Amino acid sequence: MQTIKNTGYGFSTRAVHAGEEPDFREGATGDVIVPIHLSTTFARKKVTVPTGGYEYTRSLNPTRKALETKLAALENAKYGLAFSSGLAAETTVLLSLLKSGDHIVAFDDLYGGTKRLFNHIFNEYGISTTFVDATDISRLEEIIERQTKLIWIESPSNPLLKICDIRSIANIAHENNLLLIVDNTFLSPYFQKPLDLGADIVVHSSTKYIGGHSDVLGGAVLLNDEDYYQQIAYRQNAVGAVLSPFDSYLTLRGIKTLSLRMEQHQKNALEIARFLEKHPEIDKVIYPGLDSHPQHELAKKQSSGFGGVLSFEMKGSREDAEHFLERLTLFALAESLGGVESLIELPAVMTHASIAKEVREKIGITDTLIRVSVGIEDVEDLIDDMRNALLPEKFSNFFA
């Protein structure tokens, strides 16, 4: 039977069916949903012939394999690997591709955990990183060294939502015999497909939009090159950074509504961004879907949507920002993003607290920058929650 992955079906059809086609072979049950294969080991009749290719669930598991097939289908990739977390995915990629003495060029606006990995883990093994504003293509080219092996970017970035020109950076990478790795977590494969734009490897924290319900930790790596796939898969098995069968099932379940959720996330985020732009207590709103975003046209060119994350600068002090956050009711004051519920946080003391204050402020992460992961609730309720938390007694006339 032809698999969904290798056909011209649309995104939502692949999200539902890829990797989970019913098995009608003799003895099979025709499951519509791939079962959770909890067995840690698999019996065989012949000493040298693993049954169905399965030996030990760390090496290969049917439920995880179904997820990897689905992820590859959605990202237009030949190969997919599911990991125990986004950072496990990133670590395994770097272990597979780099050695002591190598150099990384990385966007200066990255998830704090990724920067910690570069600055405090891999640097101890002789792998150095230079951070640069990757929206400045000429500057990025200038810092490529003889020892540089790869370029690492997020687009949109975390938490400043800067947009990189993925195709142009891919061209620069390949002209210099480098790899381009793109963290596509913020937009998901529904809104953006970096491999189609020339990236070599895509990574995700599948904890976020792919899982979509804040109940399963995971990561993913998607790519087209067989040699790199074999290297990464070998090390994933060797270090054991695999997603469990049950977590694979939860992620498979979440993916089925990815297109529906992303549309609602985006719709709500745009309305909230427009509300905040008009509020007198807000200094700046950062959302690629706004005309005011400096890379709005680039975002429209390389992506089919703008996602559900926005950031904004409050006027006043960090204490003012904290008081606003603590008065909210519907927005959960919590790290992470991409769930059906709305989350809000203060990056300077939460997701990016591991980055030195002077480094944070140099790239624009101030003490009053707030990041919002807009959920799929009724947007009128979310706006009311923000309105009530933004010193309503002071601005009652403004909202009359």
Catalytic (active-site) positions: 58, 111, 183, 208
- Provide the 3-class DSSP secondary structure of residue 219: strand
User: Using CA atoms, how far apart are residues 271 and 278, in angstroms rounded to an integer?
Assistant: 11
165 touches 173 (CB < 8 A):
no
CA angle 143, 310, 83 (to 5 degrees): 65
Give the pair of three-digit tokens for residue 293.
């975003």
Buried b (16+ CB within 10 A) or exposed e, 290-300: beebebbebbe
User: Using CA atoms, how far apart are residues 392 and 209, in angstroms rounded to an integer?
Assistant: 32
**Side-chain half-sphere of 127: how many Cα atoms within 13 Å?**
21
161 touches 285 (CB < 8 A):
no
Query: Phi, psi at residue 203, to the nearest 5°?
Result: -120, 150
User: Using CA atoms, how far apart are residues 247 and 252, in angstroms rounded to an integer?
Assistant: 9
User: Using CA atoms, how far apart are residues 390 and 325, in angstroms rounded to an integer?
Assistant: 9
- Provide the 3-class DSSP secondary structure of residue 232: helix
